[in-house]
Amino acid sequence: MLSFKLYVINLLLLLLLTGQLLTDPALSTSKIDFINNIIAKVQNERPVETLLFMKRRTDINCPLQEISPVGLATLRLDERTVVNVKQLFNSEALALVCMSELADSQLLTTVAQNLDRMREARIVILSQVRPSNLEEFLRIVSEQANEYSLVNLIVLHSTLYNFEGSISAYRLQPFPSPIFESVLDINDGPIFPKVWLNFRGKTAVILPDLSPPRSMLITNPRTGEQKLGGSSDRFIMEFAQKNNINLQWHHNLSDIGGMDISDVFNITKEGHIDLPIRPFVQTLWPPTANMEYANVISFLNVFVIVPCGKEMRIGDVYVGLKTYSTIVLGSYFMLAIIETLFVCATNQIFRRRPLLTYSTLVLNLRALAGVMGLPIPFRRHRTSFSLHQIIMVMGVFSLVLSSYFNANLSTLLTKHPQLKQIQNFEELRRSGLSVLFDRSFKVVLKKEIGKINFDKLLPNVEYLPTKQYENKILTLNTSYAYHMHTNIWEVLDRYQKSHNRIVLCKSHELKLLGDAPHNNILKKNSVYREAFLDFVHNTNRFGLRNYWEFTAGQNMMSNVHSRLANTSPEVNQEFKPMPLNFEDFKWLWKLLGICYGVAGLVFIGEICIGHWQKKRADRGAFIPTQYIP
């Protein structure tokens, strides 16, 4: 009986001692200060806007329940509660997780669900497992970190309640395979360094789609070696080299030629591609559960390009001058009428013989000299200041008109104008010109333009495989109109202008899709996200991406330059020196013949009119003699 009482007394003393340890304010203050210091240090490294405290529902010893930070949104969750932190709050989050035994490592599953699509979030695990189980605990956590793509994770291990004693820190090194490394002094250096600056040879799967100018093979003219030379190819290779990443092809390059955009998208959305080479329009290719759009690299315009208006022949140029000829003819008759009326008015004022002849309304040398810019004689009208003034006006008018006419004629003969090209969809339909489309865009374009009936908008559409379509357009085949997007058009237009082969033109009224965001796609919860976004920002900031796109465009057009020389007609031949031949003077001979013929007719007309005027004057001067008987 006495031994039983002693046992009860010892048990009560033990319980009192345990309660004192649990409620000791000194120990409690030590725990709170330690955790607050961790939070403050992490926040100094990078701002924290959301705190996520997690523990098992049955864990009553977790010190996180006593932490109440000021100025930060705080979520206290257990293993059964899932909240989308990024959607409801933001991505600048810090998660603190209590784990006191091996089974608590399953909390990382809930943590990963709460931090969905935000693997850049930082995670601190407060571990109180037994030292004998620590190695197994770290192995389990590293396996889960690999499964859920967790990269910013650190484990702080200590014995129960003893935060003032020794604390062991283990930081996750996620690359190339997750493994924990011991941290000698947690206060020495950042708690969460930028591990994505060096992937330590981690292998990333890529899929070049060989769609120029973004992705293509170029051949070294000296060695004959082929390598990727597109703008996106260069971007990914530079990114891999900078961040120590090994690249692996998803397909052999010889097997990629038959793939179109839909095949690439299907492989990407299944999560088989780590780094993107082909961007997608988000409105046309909606994201799936296994992927996410990373960033907008450009705004894409989709439109139709058509053959440019052909250059007018020299004969058509002269025919086109009929408007100016009409102006000259109208001015001639106007000046002839004005000059004749002024002469009649002057003769009437000075009581001279009118001598009004209707022939001056048709054949008036002074009016002709006026419209031709020739000198006009003053001798016949020395006494009439009004006639002097009208002749001066005729002279100024003739100077302006002849200068305007000669300038336009010189321009038209120097650089022949082009016929009007197709400007809108109505003219495109009336022309009957076939419009070539990349077959991979068939479904998405019809879906995007379904509101206005795509088949009615463009009835003459032909869908070709991607490679066949690109071959047609890159060889500047003017037998068709083409669906086109911004990236290829910039290269094609620059090539046409630099080589004086402007045969395909763009019209603002032939737009199918305007300013659509062009995004890169990453695998959901990709470990490359932070490094990728940082590299995109830097390359855009320093202009490297523009340079790579320009170089890729040059490489693309150099590959097809030999084909262009045989298939594409040249325009604007004045830039290419050629010897003159008889055909170049054909219209000049015709014009000279017509002018000499007209001059001969005028000369004959003048002789006839002069003879007729002389006979009329002689008849008027004859006075019959009368005899007076």
Helix, strand, or coil here: 562?
helix
Do 36 and 176 have their domain in common? yes
Helix, strand, or coil here: 159?
coil
Residue 494: which of 248, 213, 205 has the closest Cα?
Answer: 213
Asked if 305 and 382 count as a contact pair (C-beta separation under 8 A), the reply is no
Do 49 and 185 have their domain in common? yes
pLDDT at 76: 92
Total domain count, the chain: 3
Alpha-carbon distance 367 to 359, whole Å?
13
Helix or strand (DSSP H, E) at 266: helix 261-269
Q: Which domain holds residue 587?
A: 583-616
550 inside domain: no
343 inside domain: yes
Q: Which amino acid does the sequence have at 48?
A: V
Cα-Cα-Cα-Cα torsion 468, 470, 471, 475, nearest 10 degrees, comes to 150
The string over 503-535, giving b where at least 16 C-beta atoms fall within 10 Å of a residue's C-beta and e elsewhere, is ebbbbeebebbeebbbbbbbbbbbbbbbbbbeb
Residues 6+ apart with CB under 8 A from 148: 108, 109, 112, 525
Do 175 and 322 have their domain in common? no
Strand 291-307, strand 226-228: pairing: unpaired
DSSP 71-86: SSEEEEE-TT----HH
40 inside domain: yes
Lowest mean pLDDT of 97-106, 152-161, 237-246, 378-387, name the range.
378-387
Do 39 and 186 have their domain in common? yes
Alpha-carbon distance 139 to 511, whole Å?
57
pLDDT at 480: 92
Cis peptide before 176 (omega within 30 of 0): yes
Residues 433-480 have pLDDT tens digits of: 999 988 777 766 666 665 556 777 888 888 888 778 888 888 888 889
Q: Where are the alpha helices (DSSP H) in 167-222?
A: none
Asked if 280 and 443 count as a contact pair (C-beta separation under 8 A), the reply is no
Assign residue 164 the CATH number of its domain: 3.40.50
pLDDT at 5: 47
Q: What is the arithmetic mean of pLDDT over 249-263?
A: 72
Residue 51: which of 62, 65, 61 has the closest Cα?
Answer: 65
Do 189 and 60 have their domain in common? yes
Alpha-carbon distance 104 to 106, whole Å?
5
183 inside domain: yes
What's the sign of the alpha-carbon dihedral 228, 232, 235, 237? negative
Do 47 and 188 have their domain in common? yes
Helix, strand, or coil here: 480?
coil
Do 187 and 318 have their domain in common? no
Residue 346: which of 317, 377, 383, 309 has the closest Cα?
Answer: 383
The two three-digit tokens of residue 580, written as one number: 């003159």
Asked if 574 and 415 count as a contact pair (C-beta separation under 8 A), the reply is yes
Taking 80 as the threshold, does the pLDDT of residue 580 lie above it?
no
Taking 50 as the threshold, does the pLDDT of residue 552 lie above it?
yes
Alpha-carbon distance 126 to 155, whole Å?
6
Do 319 and 184 have their domain in common? no
Q: Which of 193, 223, 257 is the last residue of a domain?
A: 193
Do 174 and 39 have their domain in common? yes
Cis peptide before 208 (omega within 30 of 0): no
Asked if 471 and 482 count as a contact pair (C-beta separation under 8 A), the reply is no
544 inside domain: no
Residues 271-323 have pLDDT tens digits of: 889 998 888 877 777 777 788 888 888 888 889 999 988 777 766 777 767 77
Q: Which of 159, 193, 227 is the last residue of a domain?
A: 193
Alpha-carbon distance 239 to 335, whole Å?
77
Q: Which of 193, 216, 242 is the last residue of a domain?
A: 193
Alpha-carbon distance 100 to 79, whole Å?
14
What Rg, from alpha-carbon coordinates, does the chain have?
Answer: 45
Q: Is the pTM of this model over 0.75?
A: no
Taking 90 as the threshold, does the pLDDT of residue 125 lie above it?
yes
171 inside domain: yes
120 inside domain: yes
168 inside domain: yes
Instruction: Let me know the angle formed at the C-alpha of 54 by 52 and 60, rounded to the nearest 5 degrees.
Output: 140
Taking 70 as the threshold, does the pLDDT of residue 382 lie above it?
no
Residues 6+ apart with CB under 8 A from 290: 269, 270, 271, 523, 524
Q: What is Dmax (Cα atoms) for the chain?
A: 201
